Structure 1
Amino acid sequence: MKSEIEGGINIAMKVPSHQYEAVVSFYRDVVKLPTFDAKAPAIGFVLGPNRLWIDEAPNYTQAEIWLELFTNDHKAALTHLEAGGAIRCDQIEDLGEGFRGGWIMNPANVVHMVRTPDAW
């Protein structure tokens, strides 16, 4: 079975603590995106068909954007992406036992979660 890869719905913005409240306020009070807290303490915003998660990152000095890719076979997709130049970085954040996915960085060091959603 060939793995298929497509864009996911989640975008994570990892924000240093000293900027966190201002960034949340910007999206909530200035842009006025609808909020949700399904994964508290992270604050989520509806960003069209996507979900923008603002995560406080106490040890960061600048914000990072992390993207999500969906696949029907996460093991094959991760192997394919790694062979294509992606760097595996599963140590970046623990996904928990039994999670069907992993982490990669593209050649510009943008983090991507590659996972098989429950619906697949």
Structure 2
Amino acid sequence: MTATITGGINIAMKVPPHQYHATIAFYRDVVGLKPFTAKAPAVGFELGPNRLWIDEAPMMSQAEVWLELFTDDSSAAASRLGEAGIVRCDAIEPLGEGFRCFWITSPASIVHMVREPDTW
């Protein structure tokens, strides 16, 4: 089976502690996005049809944007991406047992979670 891969709805911004509160205030108070905290301690914002998650990341010195891709078959997607030379980087952040998802990076070093939509 060939996996279908499409864009997901979640965008994660990993922000170091010294920028975290100002970043939250920027999106909430300056831009005026509606916040929600369905996955505390991360703070989420409605970003059109997407969700922007702001995660405090003490191990980082600068902010990074991480994207989500959906697939109908995570095993087939992993094979397809592997055959294209894309290396998994599951150690980047633990996903927990039972999730049908994994991490990759693009050639430009942008982190992507590849997951089946019903597993997160």
Instruction: Report the TM-score, using the length of structure 2 for normalisation.
Output: 0.95
Unaligned residue ranges in structure 2 (runs of 5+): none
| Structural mapping, 1:77-88, within 5 Å | 77-88=77-88
- Kindly indicate whether the alpha-carbon contact (under 8 Å) linking 1:11 and 1:68 is maintained by their aligned counterparts in 2: yes
Unaligned residue ranges in structure 1 (runs of 5+): none
1:7-49 CA-partner distances (Å, limit 9, x unpaired): 0000000000000000000000000001100000000000000
1:54-84 CA-partner distances (Å, limit 9, x unpaired): 0000110100000000000011112211222
CA RMSD of the aligned region, Å? Answer: 1.1
* Counterpart residue identity of residue 3, structure 1: A
- Kindly indicate whether the alpha-carbon contact (under 8 Å) linking 1:15 and 1:60 is maintained by their aligned counterparts in 2: yes
Counterpart in 2 of 1:89? 89
- Kindly indicate whether the alpha-carbon contact (under 8 Å) linking 2:13 and 2:66 is maintained by their aligned counterparts in 1: yes
* Counterpart residue identity of residue 38, structure 1: A
Cα distance in 1 between the residues matched to 2:39 and 2:115: 17
| Structural mapping, 1:15-94, within 5 Å | 15-94=15-94
Q: Secondary structure at the match of 2:118?
A: coil
Q: Secondary structure at the match of 1:98?
A: coil
Q: Secondary structure at the match of 1:88?
A: coil
Displacement after TM superposition at 1:2 (Å): 1.9
Cα distance in 2 between the residues matched to 1:32 and 1:93: 30
